[in-house]
């Protein structure tokens, strides 16, 4: 279920960012939002970081390549991949509560 939610969020985010990129000249903002979106969505399903990176990062270069015939926007995948990997790493670093019976202490 988490994978389906993460995939849906990633696809919507990727499509929105592809749309937004067509209507703005702020490439840096779009690149930052690609990384941030991938990071946050990867926290929902950290084992599927690669799927999140592809779904967030691919729509923008596909649209740009189809309309402008230039492969340059594939750099967007780098930002999405970086954000997804960072999200997966942060997810692994989360402190998980230990079971109370496994604690050893005075007593």
Q: What is the mean pLDDT of the chain?
A: 88
DSSP for the chain reads -HHHHHHHHHHHHHHHHHHHHHT-S-HHHHHHHHHHHHHHHHTTSGGGHHHHHHHHHSHHHHHHHHHH---GGGGHHHHHHHHHHHHHHHHHHSPPPPPGGG-----
Residue extents of the structural domains in the chain: 2-94
Return the higher-pLDDT residue of 93 and 58. 58
- Dump pLDDT digits (tens) for 35-72: 999 999 999 899 999 999 999 999 999 998 888 887 77
Can you give the pTM of this predicted structure?
0.81
């Amino acid at each position: 279920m988490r994978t389906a939610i993460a995939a849906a969020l990633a696809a919507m985010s990727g499509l929105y960012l592809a749309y937004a990129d067509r209507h703005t000249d702020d490439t840096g903002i779009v690149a930052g939002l690609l990384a941030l979106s991938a990071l946050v969505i990867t926290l929902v399903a950290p084992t599927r970081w690669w799927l999140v990176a592809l779904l967030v990062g691919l729509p923008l270069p596909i649209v740009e390549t189809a309309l402008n015939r230039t492969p340059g926007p594939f750099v967007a995948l780098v930002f999405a991949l970086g954000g997804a990997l960072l999200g997966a790493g942060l997810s692994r670093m989360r402190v998980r509560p230990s079971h109370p019976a496994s604690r050893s202490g005075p007593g």
